[in-house]
């Protein structure tokens, strides 16, 4: 049977930073090119365009991915977060603030990708994921401390040609510490909250 | 890049039908290798059938105590799974040794097995390459081949298979499950990749139009004491120049069970049967480990610039088995 003629473009709706964008794309269009060339969202950078440098890192369904190897048409239905969507309004994300405070960049070109990647690294570590430098990967060993060596390994998909790695590692570590403190406080609050609720229930 | 059609498959039978109807179609998983090769013109499909959202994303225990890993499970999810980390730690280590966090989130198990060699001549459409253009010649044999095969290669192709995951799966007797329009099938991973011979462009024994649906790992108590070690030219995010997946079970001072597979030395993950045979029932010491490595590497046919791999693999066998022996003794 002869194949049915196949269109080489499609109308797609992309969910980016909580907003829906509908556009017609040539199937060859990567998510990176759709963001930059079609939707004027130039925060995501094009470095190598072959999945090796990490400059185009975005989050897909809250997991980091390189937008240069992601076809736009195949990204329909996924929750896409770019560097433009990392902050909460005017409130910078802890990773962004740490990069600013510690000079986690020089020229800044790789920075959006570094920041998106770091946001995900902190989540992955909090979820207990081991890395290639984790000594014991068995679940019983527990999550490894997020040492500089762990951060370097986990961030190795993001290249920085200026070589700002020393400050990048410090920035990721600082943001991760802030995140861990926030999680601990949230945990306490939940525990206290439930106790408070019980007390209130007893009083009533 | 050549223009192409795109369809998202709703289920396995739909995916198979779409591919069956168009000989110019290819399945798209995470796309980390295929999209890259399409950009450079190495791959020129007329249509992509997107299988990433097929319901093949589960990791489940099998009745006999093994694991069934769906084909669209991402590398990240495979590596992070508690049963994999506990029962097959070398598999988690192998997956984590490959690519970057971004790529591991995108790449799938099925796609990992079907990824193409990273031989520079294969990727360069201006150069002869028997794998890319059958009969055009091999540029690597007389050219840049310091990271090419020392085992199982031929005069037609000396490219290596780049997978880390596949090396651990090979050590643990993984079986590839697939579906075709004519029904399901299975292939042991050791039979999955074809010998190079004079047909390096034919890489797997999968029937035409087959879709990998998963990988089944049989129970392997020995795998609980396992390790993957990868040697590369920089500390992270690079392909191997040599790697090893090993598992060791020691009882009463002798080797009761052992698994060994090598990466980056052949056109497929290389199961070291000869070394395993030499070790089984024998003493647990460095001399025995070295002798076993020599038994396996006797078949090595290094090229002028990759002879170092013979020494490298021998040292890896001794080092990793020694570490596992120490673990087993605890």
Cα distances from A135 to residues A124, A148, B22, B226, in angstroms, run: 17, 14, 48, 13
DSSP summary character for residue B206: P
Residue A180: partners with Cβ closer than 8 Å, 6 or more residues away: A126
Residues A125 and A182 in one domain: yes
pLDDT in tens, A139-191: 999 999 999 999 999 999 999 999 999 999 999 999 999 999 999 888 776 55
DSSP summary character for residue B141: S
pLDDT at A198 over 60: no
pLDDT at A2 over 70: no
Q: Does B3 touch chain A (CB under 8 A)?
A: yes
Q: CATH number for the domain including A7?
A: 3.10.20.30
Answer left, alpha or beta for residue B110, where phi above 0 means left and psi between -120 and 50 means alpha: alpha
Residue with tokens 């920035």: A171
In this prediction, residue A185 carries a pLDDT of 87
- Cβ atoms of B145 and B92 closer than 8 Å: no
Mutate to test the interface with A, among B3, B6, B239 (most CBs of A within 10 A): B6
Average pLDDT, chain B: 97
Contact criterion met (CB < 8 Å) for A57 and B102: yes
Per-residue pLDDT of chain B (330 residues; tens, 9 = 90+): 999 999 999 999 999 999 999 999 999 999 999 999 999 999 999 999 999 999 999 999 999 999 999 999 999 999 999 999 999 999 999 999 999 999 999 999 999 999 999 999 999 999 999 999 999 999 999 999 999 999 999 999 999 999 999 999 999 999 999 999 999 999 999 999 999 999 999 999 999 999 999 999 999 999 999 999 999 999 999 999 999 999 999 999 999 999 999 999 999 999 999 999 999 999 999 999 999 999 999 999 999 999 999 999 999 999 999 999 999 886
CA B106 to chain centre: 17
Task: Give the nearest chain A residue to B21 (CA atoms).
Answer: A3
Contact criterion met (CB < 8 Å) for A156 and B48: no
- B6, B85, B236: residue with CB nearest A27: B6
Query: Looking at the domain assignment, is residue B319 inside a domain?
Result: yes
Q: CATH number for the domain including A199?
A: 1.10.150.120
The two structure tokens encoding residue B89: 């730690």
Contacts of A28 in chain B (CB under 8 A): 1, 3-4, 38
Q: Does A180 touch chain B (CB under 8 A)?
A: no
Residues A63 and A115 in one domain: no
In this prediction, residue A5 carries a pLDDT of 58
Mutate to test the interface with B, among A135, A139, A149, A150 (most CBs of B within 10 A): A139
Average pLDDT, chain A: 92
In this prediction, residue A186 carries a pLDDT of 82
Say if the ipTM goes beyond 0.85: yes
Q: Give me the domain span that covers residue B249.
A: 225-329
What is the Cα–Cα distance from A23 to B14, expressed in whole angstroms? 26
Q: Give me the domain span that covers residue A192.
A: 87-204
Residues A76 and A92 in one domain: no
Query: Looking at the domain assignment, is residue B241 inside a domain?
Result: yes
pLDDT band at A3 (very low <50, low <70, confident <90, very high): low
Cα distances from A5 to residues B5, B6, B21, in angstroms, run: 8, 11, 11
The two structure tokens encoding residue B38: 């399409």
Give the distance between the most distant pair of CA atoms in chain A.
Answer: 77
pLDDT at A201 over 90: no
What is the Cα–Cα distance from A12 to B131, expressed in whole angstroms? 36
What is the Cα–Cα distance from B302 to A192, expressed in whole angstroms? 67
Q: CATH number for the domain including B319?
A: 3.30.390.50
Beta bridge partners of A79: A15
Closest CA to A82 of A120, A139, A124: A120
Give strand ranges (E) for A17-99.
Answer: 19-26, 57-60, 63-66, 79-81
In this prediction, residue A197 carries a pLDDT of 38
């Amino acid at each position: 049977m002869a194949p049915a003629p196949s269109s080489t473009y499609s109308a797609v709706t992309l969910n980016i930073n909580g907003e829906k964008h509908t556009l017609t794309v040539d199937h060859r269009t990567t998510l990176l090119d759709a963001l930059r060339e079609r939707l004027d969202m130039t925060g995501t950078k094009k470095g190598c365009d072959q999945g090796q440098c990490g400059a185009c890192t975005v989050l897909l369904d809250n997991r980091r991915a390189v937008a240069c190897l992601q076809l736009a048409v195949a990204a329909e239905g996924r929750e896409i977060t770019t560097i433009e969507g990392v902050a909460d309004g005017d409130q910078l994300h802890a990773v962004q603030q740490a990069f600013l405070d510690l000079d986690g960049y020089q020229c800044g070109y790789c920075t959006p990708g570094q920041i998106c990647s770091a946001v995900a690294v902190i989540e992955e570590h909090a979820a207990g994921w081991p890395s290639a430098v984790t000594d014991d990967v068995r679940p019983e060993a527990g999550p490894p401390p997020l040492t500089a060596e762990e951060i370097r390994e986990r961030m190795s998909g993001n290249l920085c040609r200026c070589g700002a790695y020393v400050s990048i590692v410090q920035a990721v570590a600082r943001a991760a510490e802030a995140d861990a403190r926030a999680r601990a406080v949230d945990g306490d609050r939940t525990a206290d909250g439930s106790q408070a609720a019980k007390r209130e229930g007893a009083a009533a | 890049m050549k223009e192409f059609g795109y369809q998202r498959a709703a289920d396995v039978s739909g995916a198979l039908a779409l591919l069956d109807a168009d000989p110019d179609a290819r399945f798209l998983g995470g796309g980390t290798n295929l999209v890259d090769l399409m950009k450079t013109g190495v791959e020129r499909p007329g249509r992509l059938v997107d299988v990433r959202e097929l319901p093949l994303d589960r990791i489940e225990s099998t009745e006999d105590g093994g694991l069934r890993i769906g084909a669209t499970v991402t590398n990240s999810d495979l590596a992070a799974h508690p049963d994999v980390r506990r029962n097959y730690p070398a598999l988690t280590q192998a997956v984590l040794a490959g690519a970057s966090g971004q790529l591991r989130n995108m790449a799938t198990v099925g796609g990992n097995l079907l990824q193409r060699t990273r031989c520079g001549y294969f990727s360069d459409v201006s150069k002869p390459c028997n794998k890319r253009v059958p009969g055009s010649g091999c540029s690597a044999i007389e050219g840049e081949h310091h990271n090419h095969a020392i085992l199982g290669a031929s005069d037609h192709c000396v490219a290596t298979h780049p997978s880390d995951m596949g090396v651990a799966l090979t050590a643990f007797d993984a079986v590839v499950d697939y579906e075709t329009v004519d029904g399901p099938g299975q292939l042991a991973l050791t039979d999955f990749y074809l010998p190079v011979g004079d047909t390096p462009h034919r890489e797997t024994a999968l029937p035409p139009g087959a879709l990998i649906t998963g990988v089944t790992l049989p129970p392997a108590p020995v795998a609980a004491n396992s390790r993957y070690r990868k040697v590369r030219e920089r500390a992270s995010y690079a392909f191997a120049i040599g790697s090893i997946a090993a598992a060791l079970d020691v009882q009463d001072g002798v080797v009761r069970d052992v698994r060994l597979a090598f990466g980056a030395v052949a056109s497929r993950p290389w199961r070291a049967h000869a070394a395993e045979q030499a070790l089984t029932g024998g003493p647990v010491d460095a001399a025995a480990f070295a002798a076993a490595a020599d038994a396996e590497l006797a078949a090595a046919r290094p090229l002028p610039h990759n002879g170092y791999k013979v020494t490298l693999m021998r040292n890896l066998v001794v080092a990793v088995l020694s570490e596992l022996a120490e673990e087993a003794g605890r």
